[in-house]
Amino acid sequence: MDEMQGKVALITGASSGIGRATALRFAAEGAKVAIVARREDKLKEVANEIEAQGGEVKVIAADVTEEAEIERVVQETVAAFGGIDVLVNAAGIITNGTIENTRLDDWDYMFKVNTRSPFYLMNRAMPYLIARKGNAVNVSSVNGIRAFTNVLAYCASKAALDQLTHCAALEVASQGVRVNAVNPGVVVTSLHRTGGMEDDAYVEFLERSKTTHPLGRVGEASEVAELIFFLASPKAGWITGGSYSIDGGRHQTCAR
Ligand code: NDP
């Protein structure tokens, strides 16, 4: 399988979890990967893994909430590898909060990371994606398509990301560019603990997740990376404007 050989993939959130797994997946298939996150030490660990396998990688430490940083990310990727074939927006955060207690600052920051940054990255990268008839994959969530309590801003930010995906897909389809989203259920990563969940509560949450996901288990980052890789590959050449669930069936469940 050499359909990704020599292609350039720009991947945010690559210091951890789904973004990291995606970077390793693309690199394993011969893609040149530009990996983005704030923690340079973590990105370097990922880069070392990729280089040890003979892959080409560019580490770009950046905060995707800053527009100048996003512009630099795109410029540095193009300077390093000559263009962009695939953009994967995996950087994201979660915070708890309800309609009654979500602070405006938390709402704004959630949208800044989860929605505004994918928008501006697609906006800045689009000329390069058009030049190569490339594509973008946005990492949304089951929370983008279903309502859950106490994660109000997260759900809203991911729903907006799905609609952003669908609208952008229609706009650039005639130029040969595809835009899709993936909607994972609970995946074992740093997301929830970074979002404030204590270790014990996280263990309990993973245990309970066996019952909230019909297939009886949570997901692995590598499983989501596989779907992202497929959507970005020529095999998915007739797929655009979709939000694809990968959640052990969770999006089909209703409380009863
Ligand atoms: P992780 O916490 O493991 O990874 C999140 C990544 O986002 C890290 O690489 C982090 O890097 C990066 N990031 C966060 N804020 C910024 C920022 N301001 N600038 C640059 N990078 C940033 O979580 P996941 O891998 O789980 O999350 C990846 C995506 O998957 C997210 O969009 C999340 O919403 C989505 N998702 C996750 C699910 C899950 O259960 N894990 C379920 C459904 C969706 P750094 O801290 O170094 O900046």
Q: Given a cut of 90, is residue 2 above it in pLDDT? A: no
Query: What is residue 255's predicted lDDT score, i.e. its pLDDT?
Result: 79
State the average pLDDT over residues 190-196: 94
Question: Residues 51-78: what's their mean pLDDT?
Answer: 98
- Across the chain, mean pLDDT equals 97
Predicted confidence band at 3 (pLDDT cuts at 50, 70, 90)?
Answer: confident
- Report the percentage of the chain scoring pLDDT > 90: 98
Q: In whole angstroms, give the CA distance from residue 205 to residue 100.
A: 23
Q: What is the mean pLDDT of residues 200-209?
A: 95
Confirm whether 244 is a catalytic residue: no
Q: Among 5, 6, 55, 65, which residue's Cα sits nearest to residue 35?
A: 55
Residue 1 in this model has a pLDDT that exceeds 70: no
Domain ranges of the chain: 8-246
- pLDDT for 256: 76
**What is the mean pLDDT of the segment spanning 141-156?**
97
Regarding the beta carbon of 93 and ligand 1, being less than 6 Å apart is answered yes
Output the CA 13–ligand 1 centroid distance in Å. 5
User: What is the atom index within ligand 1 of the atom nearest the CA of 140?
Assistant: 44
223 in contact with ligand 1, CB cutoff 6 A: no
Residues 38 and 63: beta-carbon distance below 8 Å? yes
234-254 pLDDT tens trace: 999 999 999 999 999 999 998
How many Å lie between the centroid of ligand 1 and the Cα of residue 174? 31
pLDDT at 227 over 60: yes
- Record the pTM: 0.98
Q: The domain 8-246: what is its CATH number? A: 3.40.50.720
- For the segment 184-197, the average pLDDT, to the nearest whole number, is 95
Contact 137, 88 (CB under 8 A): yes
- As a whole number, mean pLDDT of residues 98-111 equals 98
Q: Which residues of 10-47 are buried (b: 16+ CB within 10 A; e: fewer)?
A: bbbbbbbbbbbbbbbbbbbbbbbbbbbbeeeebbbebb
Span 29-34, average pLDDT: 98
